[in-house]
Chains A and B, each alone.
Chain A
Amino acid sequence: MIEGLTRNAARNVFYGGSLFFFVVFVSLTVHSHYYIVTQSTDSAGLNESVRHGKEVWEKHSCINCHSLLGEGAYFAPELGNVWQRYGGLNNPDAARAGIKAYIRIQPTGVPGRRQMPDFGLSDEELDALVDFFEWTSRIDTQGWPPNDAG
């Protein structure tokens, strides 16, 4: 199969080709970076509260139970569209109250049901989290997820 190829030629193809694909890859991510900042996400709306919400999200590593835009763990519901699931598009106030109340009543302690811990979040932290979910729900994800179940 590779009888015709010399060792040195194979080596040069490896280094040259890899460099080429590396440059293409980096160029495309640079463009994607620009696209994210200018088109697919709401850069202007990325305010203090949304940032704080992301920090709270990370502080408690919610990602190790939940998925967010399909990435993370598979133990608990997808949260990239939790805003839609709680009706945030039609009634933002009710959605906010609903998500906050849901987090507050955890853990349910129901036997045989997966548990989410109580993180002792303050009202301000909960609001920031909801702002973060709301901001995330508006990322242009090319139509993913297929439905509200996430």
Chain B
Amino acid sequence: MKYETQKVAYPFFVAALLLFVAQIIFGVLAGVVYVFPNFLSEAMPFHIIRMSHTNLLIVWLLIGFFGATYYLLPEEAEVEIHSPTIAYVQLGIFVFAGAAALIGYQFGIHEGRHYLEQPLWVKILLTISFLMFLYNASRTLLNGRKTAISTVLLLGLWLAAIFWLFAFYNPANLALDKMYWWYIVHVWVEGVWGLIMASLLAYLVIKLTGVDREIIDKWLYVIVGLVLFSGLLGTGHHYYWIGTPAYWQPIGSFFSALEVLPLFAMVIFAFYMFWRGQRDHPNKSAMLWTLGCAVMAFFGAGVWGFMHTLSFINYYTHGTQITAAHGHLAFFGAYVMLNLAIMTYAMPHLRGKLPYNQMLNMWSFWLMTAGMAFMTFTLTFAGVIQTHLQRVMAINFMVVQEDLELFMVMRLISGVIVLIAVLMFVYALLGRAKEQVPAEGAPHIAPAAAV
């Protein structure tokens, strides 16, 4: 760690990891309800479990992004963080607001649109914290060297905050409500968060391979260009059946199909740079998560997204377990793995150690990825059957669900495996560190310091 204030990232990562565990516990509980429907049906009904699960996901991913930004910004800008105090206060507000929302949900205190269930005052606190973060990070950037990576990263975060403001707009006309709701949900994950993903991957690739920045920057701009050129009009794939005009069917189909390109480019980029650069970085597990992120994002978002994105297919699959399958693998591959990659890379520096607990970390990688992949397969099978029976054969929803039970059991099993893998991961990063220097024994925290 070259800059003292990079250590600001540490509490962010710890908070993110703890909330990640909670998110997965709620996920498993929701999975249990699918198998044993009477479970908790009075104490904590399904909708409460579900909103806890999805809200925790968003909150911890954002905290992880904040931490990642604080970690890399000093190295990129070559100056210290503008104000560590603002960073800690901002984290405190964010965690407090997230926790307050979570506790409130258990008592039925929530709003009513999915992902946006936070009560108004919680939304305001989250916004304040986000703005404090942006102020702090932007001041840091303006004080120092402006690299492509840090500029694109901050642009993504600024745009995320700006589009978030639509959370405060809830028109009484349901069709309008839905149309602007996607300004947050779609434009985040398939638009501006893509900038965050591409820039963080580019940072990891530079650190882990030592490839020349000139080349990386060019790739970065091409990738984020493809993300926004396809992703903005790609929002149209949510505007087929909610009261919006028919022209969204061709526009949404065409541009959202193109969204696969940047995801594919990220896979090529990551592998090409690892092939080209030096491959002896001691943090093998960070390398694994980085490549894994690009690959799984391509499958989860790209392949599973494409599967149901054309309007004449979406007409049948819209709002079935197919969507759940895609939602899980896409979020996991693109944003969960991204965060875990950054943390795996940064933690040894933050704790002042050589890369440690690598075996455990890599085992958790394979177990978690396999668990999520299997869960996606089971949900996909369930979704295909549901689509056929309910949408083609016109059989009643509740009747069809009975035929999906086997898949829901398998989803639960894979969910438990994911939970175990997550606990392993958290222990590998936060638990007692057994240093595992690779056989060649590079005694320095190579090339991080060199580039």
Q: Which residues of the other chain, A, contact B315 by a CB distance below 8 angstroms?
A: 143-144, 146
Tell me if A61 and B112 are in contact (CB < 8 A): yes
Q: Which residues of the other chain, A, contact B33 by a CB distance below 8 angstroms?
A: 75, 114
Interface residues on A, range: 35 or more
Tell me if A70 and B241 are in contact (CB < 8 A): yes
B interface residues, tally (CB under 8 Å): 73
C-alpha spacing A22/B255, complex, angstroms: 13
Tell me if B396 and A149 are in contact (CB < 8 A): yes
Given contacts A111-B38, A141-B241, A144-B240, contact A36 B251 (CB under 8 A): no
Given contacts A141-B241, A142-B249, contact A77 B47 (CB under 8 A): no
Q: Mark B321-357, 1 if CB is under 8 A from A, else 0.
A: 1011000000000000000000000000000000000
Tell me if A17 and B242 are in contact (CB < 8 A): no
Q: Which residues of the other chain, B, contact A40 by a CB distance below 8 angstroms?
A: 175, 243-245
Q: Which residues of the other chain, B, contact A68 by a CB distance below 8 angstroms?
A: 174
Of the residues B34, B47, B172, B246, contact of A61 by C-beta under 8 Å = B47
Q: Which of A51-59, A86-94, A121-129 contacts B (4 or more CB under 8 A)?
A: A51-59
Query: Closest residue of chain B to A145, judged by CB?
Result: B391
Q: Which of B88-96, B131-139, B224-232, B423-431 contacts A (4 or more CB under 8 A)?
A: B224-232
Q: Of residues B174, B239, B320, B398, which shows the largest number of chain A Cβ atoms within 10 Å of its Cβ?
A: B174
Given contacts A17-B229, A60-B112, A61-B47, contact A31 B245 (CB under 8 A): yes
Of the residues A13, A63, A115, contact of B41 by C-beta under 8 Å = A115
Q: Which residues of the other chain, B, contact A2 by a CB distance below 8 angstroms?
A: 218-219, 222
Given contacts A25-B235, A142-B246, contact A74 B110 (CB under 8 A): no
Tell me if B244 and A113 are in contact (CB < 8 A): no
Q: Does B46 contact A (CB under 8 A)?
A: yes
Q: Does A101 contact B (CB under 8 A)?
A: no
C-alpha spacing A78/B434, complex, angstroms: 52
The number of inter-chain residue pairs (CB within 8 angstroms) is 211
Nearest CB on A from B384, distance (A): 14
Find residues 213-270 in chain B having any chain A CB closer than 8 Å to their own CB.
214, 217-219, 221-222, 224-225, 228-229, 232-233, 235, 238-249, 251
C-alpha spacing A7/B38, complex, angstroms: 59
Q: Mark A107-150, 1 if CB is under 8 A from B, else 0.
A: 10001111101000000000000001001100111111111111
C-alpha spacing A57/B245, complex, angstroms: 25
Q: Which residues of the other chain, A, contact B242 by a CB distance below 8 angstroms?
A: 69-71, 139, 141
Tell me if A46 and B218 are in contact (CB < 8 A): no
C-alpha spacing A41/B246, complex, angstroms: 14
Chain B: interface secondary structure?
Answer: helix
Q: Of residues A70, A77, A114, which shows the largest number of chain B Cβ atoms within 10 Å of its Cβ?
A: A70
- 29 of the cross-chain contacts (CB-CB < 8 Å) are A5-B222, A13-B225, A14-B221, A32-B245, A33-B176, A36-B179, A37-B173, A40-B243, A41-B174, A43-B173, A58-B170, A59-B112, A63-B113, A63-B114, A64-B46, A64-B47, A65-B45, A67-B319, A71-B238, A71-B319, A74-B323, A77-B397, A114-B398, A132-B174, A141-B242, A141-B243, A144-B241, A145-B391, A149-B396
Apart from A58-B113, A65-B46, A147-B391: 13 A-B pairs, beta carbons within 8 A: A5-B222, A36-B173, A40-B245, A62-B47, A65-B45, A68-B174, A72-B114, A114-B401, A117-B45, A135-B174, A146-B316, A149-B390, A150-B390
Which 10 pairs between the two chains have the least Cβ-Cβ distance?
Answer: A58-B112, A70-B319, A64-B47, A144-B241, A10-B221, A147-B394, A115-B41, A70-B318, A14-B225, A18-B228
Q: Which residues of B contact A (CB under 8 A)?
A: 33-34, 36-38, 41-42, 45-48, 50-51, 110-114, 117, 148, 170, 172-176, 178-179, 183, 214, 217-219, 221-222, 224-225, 228-229, 232-233, 235, 238-249, 251, 315-316, 318-321, 323-324, 390-392, 394-398, 400-401
